């Protein structure tokens, strides 16, 4: 197979990781033990290990071969295998120094690019694409870590602004027959996206934009965090335990502010509300007499072209991706869906009402820890966010988190109850 695009993809992923994480040495390379972050020194080593394990160390033919050669670092498997190394132990491991960790990660990439340049088969291509996507997901996760720990934003070029007209109200979506999931057309897909299968959707109405800070503020100031009727039993239990009265990074001084990385700024009214978990999104829906979309509705709204009767993998123009901050929900009109829905891709992840479950006929891929362990207790998010790589996101891609997670750059849009 052609090696050049694989080499370019892996090189671009590494460039991204260097930009968002390689300055986290010194006092920031371990950080506090928290359930929602990894120590950066460990996570950078894990990125290199994952690439080495899947791309360099396979010693038998076949995508599902289990045999592996010895790692470059003698104890790498006991340090960096996230499937076997418990999360809370990662701060106490005998990790190599930060500089040595970066050198190991770079050595893996050099060897991999040399191997691909010498020739690669279909399996080599699959695992190279897997490793690149895995690295890009960790690059996004480093943004979450920086936000959680009040570190400065990574030094990235700001995406070009794409101001747009104000968009309000609902779009009318006719529904009907639709094929949910990824198409077996040669594009890379994770196992939980496989494969397209027919469903039928009823007509429904979906908000043209994500819920804004100003709209969510009305819920907060109406006592939404104090009124039991807005919350499910599980959500109310979470709320009582968390003691939350507003989104996690909001505070009220003379006026409302939010924390963006290390800085407190005035609450931007037209930006999408962000860092709200599924429980908070669902409570807001109850307050407004609306609901979250299902993931099938979301994918249909984002990708279906009623004129051609087909769906498109990436039907968006310039979107707010690869950056460090959200834009107004009215910006980036070039990315409108066929139904006039704005920013279905980028800017902010969007919670859906759907539990993360396998599609019919699910077969796990070689990286078996990616999807299968999380079926049933996670909720599906769609669309990517401002920190997501455009090389990663597409219309059928499913992200998934537990409903209590608010560290992710996640917001939501709503649907009318009568459709």
Which pLDDT value is given to residue 40?
98
The neighbouring-strand residues paired with 178 are 199
Residue 159 pLDDT grade (very low, low, confident, very high; cuts 50, 70, 90): confident
CA–chain centroid gap for 322, Å, is 12
Which pLDDT value is given to residue 157?
85
The neighbouring-strand residues paired with 201 are 176
Give the CATH class of 157-419.
alpha beta
pLDDT, tens digit (0-9, with 9 covering 90-100), for 357-398: 999 999 999 999 999 999 999 999 999 999 999 999 999 999
Assign 199 to helix, strand or coil: strand
pLDDT, tens digit (0-9, with 9 covering 90-100), for 12-62: 999 999 999 999 999 999 999 999 999 999 999 999 999 999 999 998 888
Does the model's pTM come out above 0.95? yes
Q: Is the pLDDT of residue 419 over 70?
A: no
pLDDT, tens digit (0-9, with 9 covering 90-100), for 301-357: 999 999 999 998 776 677 999 999 999 999 999 889 999 999 999 999 999 999 999
Question: In 3D, which of 143, 98, 113 has the Cα closest to residue 51?
Answer: 113
Residue 137 pLDDT grade (very low, low, confident, very high; cuts 50, 70, 90): very high
Average pLDDT of the chain is 96
Question: In 3D, which of 52, 148, 62 has the Cα closest to residue 101?
Answer: 52
State mean pLDDT over 262-270: 98
Q: What's the count of helices (H) and strands (E) in the chain, helices before strands? A: 9, 15
Report the percent of the chain where pLDDT is more than 70: 99
Q: Are 208 and 167 in contact (CB under 8 A)?
A: yes
Q: Are 366 and 63 in contact (CB under 8 A)?
A: yes
Higher-confidence position of 186 and 6: 6
For the CA atoms of 34, 37, 39, 45, the dihedral, rounded to the nearest 10 degrees, stands at 150
Residue 161 pLDDT grade (very low, low, confident, very high; cuts 50, 70, 90): confident
Structure tokens at 317: 């123009």
State mean pLDDT over 94-116: 98
Domain ranges of the chain: 4-148, 157-419
DSSP string, 71-130: PSSTTHHHHH-TTTS-GGGTTTS-PPPHHHHHHHHHHHHHHHHHHHHT---HHHHHHHHH
- Cα distances from 203 to residues 21, 174, 187, 371, 419, in angstroms, run 45, 4, 30, 30, 6
- The residue assigned the tokens 């006991």 is 78
Q: Is the pLDDT of residue 267 over 90?
A: yes
Instruction: Give buried/exposed letters for 271-308 (b at 16+ CB in 10 A, else e).
Output: bbbbbbbbbbbbbbbbbbebbbbbbbbbbbbbbbeeee
Residue 285 pLDDT grade (very low, low, confident, very high; cuts 50, 70, 90): very high
pLDDT, tens digit (0-9, with 9 covering 90-100), for 178-200: 999 999 998 999 999 999 999 99
State mean pLDDT over 221-239: 98
């Amino acid at each position: 197979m052609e090696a050049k695009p694989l080499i370019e993809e892996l090189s671009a992923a590494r460039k991204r990781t260097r930009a968002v994480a390689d300055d986290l040495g010194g006092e920031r390379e371990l950080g506090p033990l928290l359930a929602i972050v990894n120590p950066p020194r460990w996570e950078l080593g894990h990125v290199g290990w994952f690439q080495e394990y899947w791309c360099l160390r396979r010693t038998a033919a076949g995508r599902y071969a289990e045999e592996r050669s010895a790692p470059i670092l003698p104890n790498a498997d006991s340090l960096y295998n996230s499937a076997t190394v418990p999360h809370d132990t990662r701060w106490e491991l005998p990790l190599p120094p930060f500089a040595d960790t970066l050198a190991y990660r770079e050595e893996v990439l050099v060897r991999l690019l040399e191997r691909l340049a010498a020739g690669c088969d279909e399996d080599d291509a699959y695992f190279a694409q897997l490793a690149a996507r895995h690295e890009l997901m960790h690059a996004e996760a480093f943004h979450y870590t920086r936000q959680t720990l009040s570190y400065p934003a990574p030094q990235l070029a700001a995406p070009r602004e794409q101001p747009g007209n104000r968009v309000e109200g609902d779009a009318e979506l006719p529904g009907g027959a639709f094929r949910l999931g990824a198409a077996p057309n040669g594009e890379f897909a994770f196992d939980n996206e496989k494969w397209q299968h027919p469903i039928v959707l009823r007509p429904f109405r979906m908000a043209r934009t994500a819920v804004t800070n100003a709209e969510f503020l009305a819920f907060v100031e109406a006592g939404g965090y104090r009124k039991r009727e807005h919350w499910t039993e599980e959500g109310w239990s979470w709320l009582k335990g968390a003691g939350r009265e507003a989104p996690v990074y909001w505070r009220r001084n003379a006026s409302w502010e939010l924390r963006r990385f290390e800085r407190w700024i005035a609450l931007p009214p037209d930006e999408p509300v962000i860092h709200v978990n599924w429980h908070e999104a669902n409570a807001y829906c109850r307050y407004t007499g609306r609901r979250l979309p299902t993931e099938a509705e979301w994918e249909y709204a984002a990708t279906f072209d009623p004129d051609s009767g087909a769906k498109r993998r990436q039907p968006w123009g310039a979107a707010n991706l690869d950056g460090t901050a959200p834009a107004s929900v009215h910006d980036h009109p070039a990315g409108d869906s066929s139904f006039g829905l704005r920013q279905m891709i980028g800017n902010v992840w969007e919670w859906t009402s759907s539990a993360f479950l396998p599609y019919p006929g699910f077969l796990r891929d070689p990286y078996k820890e990616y999807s299968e362990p999380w079926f049933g207790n996670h909720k599906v998010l769609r669309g990517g966010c401002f920190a997501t790589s455009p090389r990663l996101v597409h219309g059928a891609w499913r992200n998934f988190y537990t409903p209590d997670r608010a560290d992710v750059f996640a917001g939501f849009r709503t649907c009318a109850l009568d459709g």
